[in-house]
Amino acid sequence: MIELNIDFTAPFIERKDIDEIAPEVLSSTKVLLDRSGAGNDFLGWLDLPEHKDSACVRKINEVAQKLRERIDILVVTGIGGSYLGTRAVVEALQSPFAALRQGESPEVVYAGHHLDGHYLSELLRLLDGKDYAVVVISKSGTTTEPAIAFRLLRNHLEQKYGAAEARERIIAITDASKGALRTAVNNQGYESFYIPGNVGGRYSVLTPVGLLPIAIAGYDIKALLEGAAAMRKQLLEKANDLYNNPALLYVAVRNILYRQGKRIEVMVNYQPDLYYFTEWWKQLFGESEGKEEKGIFPAGVSFTTDLHSLGQYLQEGHRLFFETVLHVQKPKSNLTIPYDEEDLDGLNYLKGKTLHFVNQKAEEGTALAHRDGGVPVMQFQIPEVNAHYLGQLIYMFEFACGVSAYLLGVNPFDQPGVEMYKKNMFRLLGKPGF
């Protein structure tokens, strides 16, 4: 199981601090589990791992298997919670060079997550010469970015394959009964899945929103759900035992540090394949907690790359941060540093050592340096990056996010602030009614 390591010898956190905040954390947990807090009609995600053997998961695997056999590229079209979970899992599991390793699995590309015309025109140019399908995901069915991308992609599909075949290459994931995308499904007869009404976008990766594209990409969604189910079991069994509940311990530590004035949490990875996991986590916590002038700002870095850029600021800039490290115990593969007769690069002292060993020493050295520099560091111990442990991480962070937001006194499941930019944009674009 995934565990959280806290260095109680560091000056920032002592056991008594945890003991002091524990009653508040446990009462916020009770609010979540009793389903008595704000946004309690959006708690469907709590039980999603239990659906691992459901008819819906079987259908997802069937549809995915059929599609995998006929396409080179899958275009996942969505924004925010409608694409980040997929991207987090796919990029964590695929080869960093997946795009260049043709013929192994459909390559997953993304659209509708911004408004850049150059990106979309290059995508359409690429798709001219590829066999592809589109999974369009929008719970509301009306979000501007994916709606524009989908309109362009649908036109491209129709021109390339004709209207009838285009319809077979579109799968929509949206609300069960309402919204423009559901109407399109009804009118056009697209294959479709629904997002449960009681699951919000950023908590939806374990619904068809994430499961279908992840399965089309060739990854084991049963293992993902089993990992989430194992974590769910532990978190529920230990709902009153903060020290043995990694989600609650994490909530306690991050909120102690927040109250000490550490307003920015930096998620740190030492494997670039976790970059999009951090992006998913940023969205989850940023949209859930950043309200009413409260909340910890979630940021992310990839080390050692960013030690040569932001590392300087973290070491010596404003003391606003704490770090949450994703520590991976077993790498997916490894290399040994060879002996060199001339040793011009002075690396012979590392001969026979693995890259993973060197990476770990970099991690240990950085944690010590940052602690000395006034940055508290905690670590999640992740046995390895696979579907099972990603499932555990996803569920643990979702649970922690719900509890932490309640502890802050905000609704974890709405995002009223997101509407402000939309209103202005629509007015500037001349949308009727704005």
User: Residue 304 interacts with ligand PA5 (CB under 6 A)?
Assistant: no
For ligand PA5, the closer of residues 269 and 283 by Cβ is 283
For ligand PA5, the closer of residues 195 and 216 by Cβ is 195
Nearest to 296 by CA among 259, 263, 320, 268: 263
Q: Which two tokens stand for residue 353?
A: 């050592």
Q: Which two tokens stand for residue 213?
A: 């594209």
Residue ranges in 146-175 that form contacts with ligand PA5 under rule CB under 6 A = 146
How far is the first Cα of the chain from the last one, in angstroms, to the nearest whole number?
Answer: 50
Q: Which two tokens stand for residue 231?
A: 């974590």
Instruction: Give least dist CB 273 to ligand PA5, A.
Output: 23
User: Residue 386 interacts with ligand PA5 (CB under 6 A)?
Assistant: no
Instruction: Give least dist CB 333 to ligand PA5, A.
Output: 34
Instruction: Give least dist CB 207 to ligand PA5, A.
Output: 11
For ligand PA5, the closer of residues 202 and 254 by Cβ is 202
- Three-state DSSP class for residue 77: strand
* Separation in Å, CA 129 to CA 73, 103, 169, 213, 256: 10, 15, 16, 21, 54
Residue 107 neighbours by CB distance under 10 Å? 22
CA quadruple 228, 264, 9, 277: dihedral positive or negative? positive
Task: Quickly list H helices, 108-179.
Answer: 117-128, 144-161, 163-168
For ligand PA5, the closer of residues 202 and 388 by Cβ is 202
Instruction: Give least dist CB 195 to ligand PA5, A.
Output: 7
For ligand PA5, the closer of residues 52 and 139 by Cβ is 139
Amino acid at 263: R
Nearest to 404 by CA among 230, 263, 269, 249: 249
Contact letters for ligand PA5, residues 121-150 (x by CB under 6 A): -----------------xxx--x--x----
Instruction: Give least dist CB 287 to ligand PA5, A.
Output: 5
Instruction: Give least dist CB 205 to ligand PA5, A.
Output: 10
Residue ranges in 241-270 that form contacts with ligand PA5 under rule CB under 6 A = none
Which residue in the list 293, 308, 341, 419 is annotated as catalytic? 308
Of residues 202, 232, 291, 327, which one binds ligand PA5 by CB under 6 A? Answer: 202
Answer yes or no: 308 catalytic. yes
CA quadruple 298, 108, 213, 415: dihedral positive or negative? positive
Amino acid at 51: H
Q: What are phi and psi of 293, to 5 degrees?
A: 60, 35
Euclidean distance between CA atoms 301 and 153, whole angstroms: 33
For ligand PA5, the closer of residues 110 and 303 by Cβ is 110
Helix (H) or strand (E) holding 194: strand 191-194
Of residues 107, 287, 323, 398, which one binds ligand PA5 by CB under 6 A? Answer: 287
Residue ranges in 70-89 that form contacts with ligand PA5 under rule CB under 6 A = 79-82
- In this structure, are residues 395 and 246 in contact, taking their beta carbons and an 8 Å threshold? no
Nearest to 250 by CA among 178, 179, 298, 198: 298
For ligand PA5, the closer of residues 182 and 202 by Cβ is 202
User: Residue 200 interacts with ligand PA5 (CB under 6 A)?
Assistant: yes
User: Residue 201 interacts with ligand PA5 (CB under 6 A)?
Assistant: yes
Which residue in the list 66, 351, 353, 422 is annotated as catalytic? 422
> Is residue 305 reached through a cis peptide bond, with omega within 30 degrees of 0 on the bond before it?
no
Q: Is 81 left (phi over 0), alpha (psi -120 to 50) or beta?
A: alpha
Q: Which stretch binds ligand PA5 (CB under 6 A): 38-46, 98-106, 113-121, 200-208?
A: 200-208
User: Residue 379 interacts with ligand PA5 (CB under 6 A)?
Assistant: no
Instruction: Give least dist CB 48 to ligand PA5, A.
Output: 15
- In this structure, are residues 89 and 205 in contact, taking their beta carbons and an 8 Å threshold? yes
Interface with ligand PA5: number of residues (CB under 6 A): 14
Answer yes or no: 287 catalytic. yes
Euclidean distance between CA atoms 421 and 192, whole angstroms: 30
For ligand PA5, the closer of residues 186 and 334 by Cβ is 186
Which residue in the list 145, 279, 287, 289 is annotated as catalytic? 287
Instruction: Give least dist CB 200 to ligand PA5, A.
Output: 5
Catalytic amino acids?
A: 287, 308, 422
Residues in the site for ligand PA5, rule: CB under 6 A? 79-82, 138-140, 143, 146, 200-202, 287, 415
